Chain A
Amino acid sequence: MPDRSLIRRPARRAAPALLLVGSLLLSACAASRQAESAGSFYDPLEHLNRRIFAFNQKVDRHVILPVAKAYNRALPQPARNSIRDFMRNLDSPIIFANDALQAHFRDAGQTFARFALNSTLGIAGFVDLAGRWGIPYHDDDFGVTLGVWGVAPGPYLVVPVIGPSDPRDLAGNVVDGYADPWNYTASDQGYVWAPFVRGAISGIDTRARYIKALSDLERTSLDYYAAIRALYLQRRAALIRHERTLPPNPTLTRRENPAPATAVLFTARNGSEVSP
């Protein structure tokens, strides 16, 4: 006869354990924020991460970068933009769901409107009409949603081939991948390879847009690994904070407020994306 108290005991133990884990997560969250502002990031697996990072750089140099360059040569900019817009349109249901889960309903409305317009008048998403009409694209994913819900990122991870991540973002990737309507429709129809092809195309397209930014960063940084880590973790934290731009200073009168102070800062090259 199994002793019922044996069964119950773990549950009774679990409650304080859960509390402990919860408070640890919270304090880890606070600690990571402090550490971030001090410029040191939580990277207990740094030794292993650096080895994977070095491996990824080799893969990039010998496989991904040559493919990305060939992609840039083979297709003119407008064609590449159309491919990007199509891939982004496919992402709309997941972006919409995450906007809603974060209670960012204005963003969710924008994503919905973009999807409706671009899928129809925008020819299955190949033309970003909504963007031209003033409804800009924004990205969102379940890693950000988890962050908004207060889940701590955990240790920084470098994933083979994929690159910078952390447990929270990895979990987010899995959830987004399973929840994506196109992925499971394709799998149901027997096209199990389709999600991988989709991932590869958007990966190559993204890599192709950052060729110069990343090579400049690698060339000018003292420690490329540390630079990428700092960029990735700060960028993810910023997406989770979801800050809006400051309103014009209310203490200024209309005349004093530079209306709107415009300066052409950066030089034209190819209309590519910027922040590395």
Chain B
Amino acid sequence: MIMRRSLLAAALLLSAGAAVPATAALDAGAFIANLGNEALAVLGPQTSPEQRAVAFRALFRRDFDVPQIARFVLGPYWRVATPEQQREFMRLFENYIALAYSTRLSQFSGERLLVTGWQPIPGGAIVSSEARRPGGGPPIRIDWRLTRYDGTYKINDVVVDGVSMAITERSEFASVIQRTGGNVQGLIAMLRAKTAGAAGD
């Protein structure tokens, strides 16, 4: 733990020396705040579940690092998959995430997303935010891990109250692959069944 902290501190110091002047112009906090504003319109109660999934998919495609996430969640199975399987997985994964997260997020209630801070890290940034409840409960902490590309950021993970979406999906997908005979094809079939009829191309 202390080891990790000091490594992190060292990394932050290094990046403070090198990366900050370049990143200062590109505000990761504003990037997430903007996304939050757009997501509001998408996840509002006036939109139907189908519209929500379609709109969420567009946001996901634009602001998330889909190729990197797809590779991460497949883990060691990415390399054993054929190029066709990789392409098919990436396509289905997009649909699946749009469906799963537009459903799961739709019940977040009356929240305001407050960006509380951000820090550059090598190759990207981490943005901290809080979704506050009107009822006065403890705020839900949402951290966004960003990769930096020319002139913009892409999200590679969302961590809600310490639970990483990427790690959760990776664990779930690995479990599905193991239980369907260790082949990526089993996962692809399940993804296809799950997303059938929703979030079409």
Q: Do A and B bind each other?
A: yes
A18 at the interface (CB under 8 A from B): no
A39–B169 Cα gap in the complex (Å)? 8
Q: How far is the CA of A275 from the CA of B39 in the complex (A)?
A: 18
Mask, B117-134, CB within 8 Å of A = 1, is: 111100000111011011
Q: Are A261 and B16 in contact (CB under 8 A)?
A: no
Evaluate contact between B40 and A243: CB separation under 8 angstroms: no
Check A256 against B113 for contact (C-beta < 8 Å): no
For the complex, give the distance between the alpha carbons of A213 and B108 in Å.
9
* 1/0 contact string of B70-113 vs chain A (CB within 8 Å): 00010100000000000000000000000110011111111111
Is B67 at the interface (CB under 8 A from chain A)? no
Would A265 and B141 count as touching, CB distance under 8 A?
no
A243 to B128, CA, bound (A): 11
Partner of B29, one of A128, A131, A239, A257: A257
- Give chain B's interface residue range (CB within 8 Å of chain A): 35 or more
Which residues of chain A have C-beta atoms less than 8 A from B163's C-beta?
230-231, 234-235, 238, 275
The answer to whether B24 and A251 have CB atoms under 8 Å apart is yes
Q: Is A58 an interface residue (CB 8 A)?
A: no
Chain A positions 207 through 231: 1 when the CB is less than 8 Å from some CB of chain B, otherwise 0: 0000011001101111101110111
A216 CA / B105 CA spacing, docked (Å): 9
The CA of A213 and the CA of B166, in the complex, are separated in Å by 19
Q: In the docked arrangement, what's the CA distance between A178 and B169, Å?
A: 38
Q: How far is it, in angstroms, between the C-alpha of A213 and the C-alpha of B161 when the chains are bound?
A: 15
Q: Residue-by-residue, is B29-73 near A (CB-CB < 8 Å gives 1, otherwise 0)?
A: 110111111011001110000000000000000000000000001
A264 within 8 Å of B (CB atoms): yes
Q: Are B40 and A265 in contact (CB under 8 A)?
A: yes
Which residue in chain B gives the minimum CB-CB distance to A84?
B137
Contact A264–B45 (Cβ < 8 Å): no
Contacts of B176 in A (CB 8 A): 222-223, 226
User: How far is it, in angstroms, between the C-alpha of A151 and the C-alpha of B72 when the chains are bound?
Assistant: 29
For B111, give the chain A residue with the smallest CB separation.
Answer: A266
Nearest CB in chain A to that of B193: its residue? A222
Choice from A234, A246, A258, A270 contacting B167 with Cβ under 8 Å: A234
Q: Which residues on the A side are within 8 Å of B160 (C-beta)?
A: 275
Given contacts A231-B163, A252-B27, whether A263 and B37 have CB atoms under 8 Å apart is: yes
Cα–Cα distance between A216 and B107 once the two chains are bound (Å): 9
> Which residues of chain B are near A230, meaning CB under 8 Å?
163, 167-168, 171-172
Residues of chain B contacted by A217 (CB below 8 angstroms): 104
Residues of B at the A interface (CB closer than 8 Å) are 1, 16, 20, 24, 27, 29-30, 32-37, 39-40, 43-45, 73, 75, 99-100, 103-120, 126-128, 130-131, 133-141, 160-164, 166-176, 179, 187, 190-191, 194
Closest CB pairs A-B (n = 7) = A238-B162, A39-B170, A266-B108, A263-B36, A268-B110, A261-B33, A226-B175
